[in-house]
Amino acid sequence: MPDRIAPPDRIGMLRHLSPQQWKITSQEFDERRVHTAGEVISDRGVPLSHSLVLERGLVGRRILSGRQRVAKHYLVALQVPGDFVDLHAYPLGVLDHDIVAITDVTLAAIPHHRLSAIMAADQDLTRRLWSLTLVDAAIHRQWSLRNGTMRALQRVAHLFVELITRLDLAVGRAESYRLDLSQRHIGDACGLSSVHVNRILRDLREAGSCTYAKGVLVVTDRAALVQIAGFDDRYLYLPRV
């Protein structure tokens, strides 16, 4: 295995780091990993020695709830390119949830001992890396609020607007986005059944805001979709670009 790999690009939330800080950090990645859709990338409770940056695809954080025979998976977060998918594993050592590939994904891995070295040398870099985990926490809070207080139509619209807002930062603004989320994924993220999600997708289509078919979200009226979602992006703490 090589001691270093070609550095990942500074995209998405990685832009919270200055170009020089990212140059220093990106030189410490030592492995590139590829997973196919549905694979578990990191198992709950298993000690981790690396943290991963997502370069391509979508990744989810998944929790199993309930007893074995009636257990259900819940998606409690989705990660897009430019996200550290498990930076919180650096201080914690293990995770209380699984990291799963929603789509085919490519990730770059940085050893925790190298993170320790670069953070020891740069207090501001440490603060900025720490802030990425705080943004994750802000997104978790918003998901809890969304699923606890919003009606079903607003939940799904909010999920879509959040994802396209984050993808705009990572890969550029578009009119269509290949998410490759199944109706079950959407339901798991929003606390809805697949049958309910199917009805909501129809309602969004009939409202003229967006269509979702075969894993592709086509935004036909972004302003209308944002209005349905009641979306305010302040919780994302998007970097200034």
pLDDT tens track for 136-145:
999 999 999 9
Band of pLDDT at residue 74, cut at 50, 70 and 90: confident
pLDDT exceeds cutoff 60 at 11: yes
Tell me the mean pLDDT in the region 65-94.
Answer: 86
Per-residue model confidence (pLDDT) at position 84: 98
pLDDT tens figures, 183-195: 999 999 999 999 9
pLDDT at 241: 67
Average pLDDT, the chain: 95
Q: Can you list the domains of the chain with their CATH numbers?
A: 12-142 (2.60.120.10), 151-236 (1.10.10.10)
User: What letter does residue 119 receive in the DSSP assignment?
Assistant: H
Whole-number pLDDT of residue 206? 98
User: For the chain, where are the alpha helices, taking DSSP H only?
Assistant: 19-26, 89-92, 112-121, 123-149, 152-171, 183-190, 194-206, 222-229
> Could you give the CA distance from residue 183 to residue 73 in angstroms, rounded to a whole number?
14
β 216-219/176-178 pair status: antiparallel
Higher pLDDT, 5 or 240: 5
Q: How confident is the model at residue 205 (pLDDT cuts 50, 70, 90)?
A: very high
Residue 177: pLDDT above 70? yes
